[in-house]
Amino acid sequence: MATALESRLGDDIEQALKDVDAAFLALYGPDMATWSRGVRGEYLETLKGRRTGDREARPLYPRKSSASRRRRHAQQLGWRISQIAPSAATILITPIWMDGTGSSVRHYLARALDADGQIIKFAAGGSQRIASLLQAVYPGANWDHPLTWNAAAHTLTDRISRKQVT
């Protein structure tokens, strides 16, 4: 037995999909074949997120751990990040979509900045390690959006809505 969607909810989802289409068409042009694979992947991932009502409020692969484990991760986060990116004052994390095998896969690009705003370079794999550490501490964050972690305040902020993530 199928459950009918409320017509208002369906209309809201339809309008959101139209808005995404309009934004991508205005920015990248009407021919999807000329778009890069990353842009196509981002477009399809955004559409998938808009089709389900609560999908954007949850990460794609939520980290499940006990409260004590999350507290321990939170306490050790500054030290662990300093092992990857010494003297980092701010970490910028951006989701990117890569298409190396024929299907789009989401990865995270992390950029570490010191107190003066200079880029701190870290070893290969550092972006994924930093993203994994932050996902463990902030499992409720919306990982579809770019995020900023501040080392002094130990806070994660959504760069689009400018709201602090708890």
Averaged confidence pLDDT in the chain = 77
The domain of 28 spans 7-57
Is 38 inside a domain boundary?
Answer: yes
Predicted structure pTM score: 0.58
One domain, residues 48 and 115 = no
pLDDT score of 163 more than 60: yes
What are the pLDDT digits (tens) for 40-52?
888 777 777 666 5
How many structural domains are present in the chain?
2
**Rounded Cα–Cα distance for residues 37 and 69 (Å):** 38
- Nearest CA among 83, 159, 156, 88 for reference residue 117: 88
What are the pLDDT digits (tens) for 108-154?
889 999 989 899 988 888 888 998 888 888 877 888 888 999 988 88
Radius of gyration of the chain, Cα coordinates, nearest whole angstrom = 18
One domain, residues 73 and 127 = yes
